[in-house]
Structure 1
Amino acid sequence: MVSPDASGLDRPLPGGIGLSHISAYDWQAADGVCGGSPHLHLVCTEAYVVTGGRGAVQTLSPDGYRDTPLEAGSLAWFEPGTVHRMVQGEDLRITVLMQNSGLPEAGDAVFTFPPEYLADPEKYAAAAALPAPAGPEAEAAALRRRDLAVEGYLPLREALAAGDAEPLRAFQRAAAELVRPRLAAWRDLWRTGALATAERTGAQLDALERGEADGYLAASTAHTATPTRHGGLGMCGRREEYGIEGATLPR
């Protein structure tokens, strides 16, 4: 049992979530659509809160292909295993809420690269990496990996639209196999992040029940933050990130 004021992060965001702001890419892909790099998450649910503009999100899951319009006020979220692709319409802006902060940055997100990349961890890593956080060279690399992800995505979408979910399931299996060597590190991140945050709530409930809430209530305070990095090259688009450990920075 953790103490009521203990967690893996000093002061985590509510629920141990990750948070960033995204402006969807306006790069046109091979199918004429402007937007981000299709990908899935293995253990994290991701949510889009649309704050401005309009666009769409394309999703692939075993129950079918969907093209969901997005506009200010829309809320959409994707369970682990759902391939999602942000599509630019006009000045689409989104706040992203990410379950299990730290895990997406640790490799939980897998691009829909063609099968030969998923079968070769070194080849996948080279295609997914950016040479720098920002700048022309990094932007060119982000565009290349987006196009490669779309190349692998389009056959999955075509098959699913025709009623054949097996190519998508094969991609899910390949993605799961690709990340298996990282699972021990992921468990550590989960235990010291999202799990510790939830356990702290349990410890607070125990303290309340015992009539001993003074300890953690006396340590309460407020926090503020503003984005510390602008124009980051994320999977879906350009990211505004917070310099808070576990929010959008790796823990």
Structure 2
Amino acid sequence: MRDPLPGAVGVSKLCVYDTATPDGLPGGTPHLHLCCTEAYVVIGGTGEVQTLSGQDGFAEHELRPGTVLWFTPGTIHRLVNHGGLEIIVLMANTGLPEAGDAVLTFPLDVVRDPERYAEAVSLPDGGAPGTDITTAYRRRDLAVRGFHELRDGGKLDEFYEAAVRLKQPLLGDWRERWEQGAREAAERTGRQIAALIDNDPAHLRESRVSTKPVPDEVGRLGMCGLLNTYRYD
């Protein structure tokens, strides 16, 4: 694609996992994002998202077709599938989620140990379509266990601190991706406004259309379910 999506967001279609987790609820892997706001547009089925955030604590939010829900970085979120739950997912800062912006809610002793975390989070072939789905279920179930410990044990701040330490080696790359993506998109709008103030329509003459007729991947093993993904490079 020649141009990023509006605001340099990323978009994917998510079919939420429907197998039971250790507490009996079917659904996805609890996790948070360190820099990226995430939004859901529900297009099919029903369910809920359980959240644990610094301001609101634990909460449950109903999801049904037509629901739009979004949350800021630091919000731990866990999707629960009551039947056929399908979502269009919008992610801020395209490129950052793919570069490791998420931290799964494994027990604290795992998150505090980079080697153990890397082993627990990894999937064969990176979770490419066709990968054994039970590997995604295993890491999900470990994260559900850690989620309950955070929800019931009042150790959210400790988890935040461990998550930040875990991702320190990646922050330089994240900054570069942000500068080339979301920051550049915002600054481009600033340049366009400045041009309009000067009665200069030059950027309008460069207007064009981009399209992705089909996903680049279908059925990638994501944290919350099977993903149909699109690349924007």
Q: 2:78 aligns with which of 85, 99, 117?
A: 85
Deviations 1:145-199 (A, max 9, x none): 111111111111223xxxxx4x111111111111111111110000000000000
Say which of 6, 14, 38 aligns to 1:14.
6
Following the alignment from structure 2 to structure 1, what is the Cα–Cα distance between the partners of residues 130 and 195? 50
| Aligned twin of 1:134 | 129
1:146 has 2:136 as partner: no
The aligned counterpart of 2:101 is 108
Displacement of 1:136 in angstroms is 4.5
Does structure 1 residue 43 correspond to structure 2 residue 38? no
1:70-99 deviation line (CA, Å, top 9, x unaligned): 000111111111100011011011000101
- Measure how far apart 1:126 and its partner are: 1.7
Aligned-residue sequence identity (percent) comes to 49
Unpaired runs of 5+ in structure 2?
A: none
Q: How many residues align?
A: 229
1:74 aligns with 2:67: yes
Letter in 1 for 2:95: G
RMSD over aligned Cα, in angstroms? 1.3
Question: 1:140 Cα deviation (Å)?
Answer: 2.1
Partners of 1:124 and 1:50 lie apart in 2 by: 31
Amino acid at match of 2:232: I
- The match for 1:212 among 197, 200, 223 is 200
Instruction: Report runs of 4+ in structure 1 exceeding 2 Å deviation.
Output: 134-137
Alpha-carbon distance between aligned partners in 2 of 1:78 and 1:195, rounded to the nearest angstrom: 20
